[in-house]
Amino acid sequence: MLDIQEISDRLEIQGLLVAYATAIDSKDFASLDGIFTEDAHIDYTTFGAIAGTRAEMQEFLASSMAQFTACQHLIANPEIRFDGNRATGRVMCLNTLGFPTENGDPRIALLGMWYIDEYTRTPAGWRISRRSQERSWTQGLGDVPGNTR
pLDDT in tens, 60-99: 999 999 999 999 999 999 999 999 999 999 999 999 999 8
In the structure, what pLDDT confidence band is assigned to residue 101 with cuts at 50, 70 and 90?
confident
Sequence-distant (≥ 6) Cβ neighbours of residue 130 within 8 angstroms:
40, 41, 42, 43, 117, 118
Using alpha carbons, select from 35, 27, 69 the residue that is nearest to residue 54: 35
The alpha carbon of residue 29 and the mean position of all alpha carbons in its chain are separated, in whole angstroms, by 11
Q: Please give the pLDDT value at position 27.
A: 97
Of 68 and 145, the structure prediction assigns the larger pLDDT to 68
Q: Please give the pLDDT value at position 58.
A: 97
Of 144 and 49, the structure prediction assigns the larger pLDDT to 49
Contact 126, 16 (CB under 8 A): yes
Q: Please give the pLDDT value at position 106.
A: 76
Averaged pLDDT, 30-55: 97
Helices (H), 26-82: 54-64
Domain at 4-139, CATH from 3.40.50.300, 3.40.50.1860, 2.60.40.10, 3.10.450.50: 3.10.450.50
In the structure, what pLDDT confidence band is assigned to residue 2 with cuts at 50, 70 and 90?
confident
Contact 32, 62 (CB under 8 A): no
Q: What pTM does this model have?
A: 0.91
Q: For 24-40, what is each residue's pLDDT tens digit? A: 999 999 999 999 999 99
Domain ranges of the chain: 4-139
Average pLDDT, the chain: 93
Question: What burial letters (b/e) apply to 71-89, b meaning 16+ CB within 10 Å?
Answer: bebebeeeebebeeeebeb
148: pLDDT strictly greater than 70: no
What is d(CA 116, CA 74) in angstroms, rounded to the nearest whole number? 15
